[in-house]
Amino acid sequence: MPTVGFIYPDHAAEDDYPLAERMLGDGARLPVEHIYGTDLHAVAELLDLGSPARLAEGAALLAKYEPSAVVWACTSGSFVYGWDGAEEQVAKLSAAAGGLPASSTSFAFVRAANALSLRSVAVAASYPDDVAKLFVEFLGRGGIEVLSMSAADIDTAAEVGELAPEQVVELIVSRDHPDADALLVPDTAMRTLALIDMIEERIGKPVLTANQVTVWEGLRLTGATREAPGLGTLFRTKGA
């Protein structure tokens, strides 16, 4: 089974990754190492958080696990660079990791949406409005139409990580759009893995969340995507 290394900013919802290991149940290893900066959802701070130097530090910390791929487990710290800048960010991360396949949560959302043939979505963002709009622009570059976007205006990742499960569910469910093919929930600081199936049942459509798509993308990089119960439509769809 593969080992996929994840670079996670600060601390908030990183326990979703050992939970994913248990839910996959096949021996895949998903080690997490942390880099540190401000956790403010603001453009300048996010650009610093996702800088090449910080990600190179994360890649060095992951080396002891001998991963087959590495992923920058941060949505806002990748899409804030724009599409071209995020591609350069991933290329530099790959180089820092000795040429390993690399990606980020922002690209994971686009690839997961494409794998499910989603074309129009709603976005339930925890960020302030100006940051959330950058995610909408990023999705547009990936060919995904956003029918509606709501921003919860939560300033820091730490605050997002403190949300109770019922608050997470309400934040997501209340922001669906009836005509959207799916609902996207950026922010790896939000604990969602244990809630995805319940939320999908509530709204009757696929839900893609940041930690879910990040794990899926890491497995995709190693050629190890497969069906797994409890992790939403994305992990129940053959060929996804």
- Residue range 153-197, pLDDT digits in tens: 887 878 888 899 999 999 999 999 999 999 999 999 999 999 999
CB-based burial label for 36 (10 Å; 0-12, 13-18, 19+): exposed
Residue 99 belongs to some domain of the structure: yes
Residue 180 belongs to some domain of the structure: yes
The pLDDT value recorded for residue 152 is 85
CB-based burial label for 220 (10 Å; 0-12, 13-18, 19+): buried
- How many domains, the chain? 2
175/225 same-domain check: no
Write the CATH number for 224.
3.40.50.12500
The pLDDT value recorded for residue 1 is 83
Residue 89 belongs to some domain of the structure: yes
Q: What is the mean pLDDT of residues 210-228?
A: 95
134/63 same-domain check: no
216/104 same-domain check: yes
Q: How far is residue 108 from each of residues 154, 179, 188, 193, 218, measured CA to CA in Å?
A: 23, 23, 12, 15, 9
pLDDT for residue 205 is more than 80: yes
89/168 same-domain check: no
153/186 same-domain check: yes
Residue 226 belongs to some domain of the structure: yes
Q: Which residue has better confidence, 85 or 39? A: 85
The pLDDT value recorded for residue 226 is 84
215/104 same-domain check: yes
> Residue 124 pairs with which residues in a beta bridge?
150
94/133 same-domain check: no
Q: How far is residue 147 from each of residues 76, 138, 170, 182, measured CA to CA in Å?
A: 20, 14, 19, 10
185/154 same-domain check: yes
Residue 240 belongs to some domain of the structure: no
Neighbours of 156 (CB within 10 A): 18
Residue 84 belongs to some domain of the structure: yes
Tell me if 97 sits within 8 A of 59, measured CB to CB: yes
pLDDT for residue 239 is more than 70: no
Residue 31 belongs to some domain of the structure: yes
97/132 same-domain check: no
Neighbours of 67 (CB within 10 A): 24
76/55 same-domain check: yes
The pLDDT value recorded for residue 54 is 96
Q: What domain range is 52 assigned to?
A: 4-108+211-235
H and E: helices and strands count for the chain: 11, 8
Is pTM, for the whole model, over 0.85? yes
Q: How far is residue 104 from each of residues 2, 42, 166, 179, measured CA to CA in Å?
A: 18, 18, 28, 28
pLDDT band at 13 (very low <50, low <70, confident <90, very high): very high
Residue 188 belongs to some domain of the structure: yes
189/215 same-domain check: no
Buried b (16+ CB within 10 A) or exposed e, 116-130: bebeebbbbbbbbee
Tell me if 65 sits within 8 A of 100, measured CB to CB: no
If you ran DSSP here, which 8-state letter would residue 163 be given? -
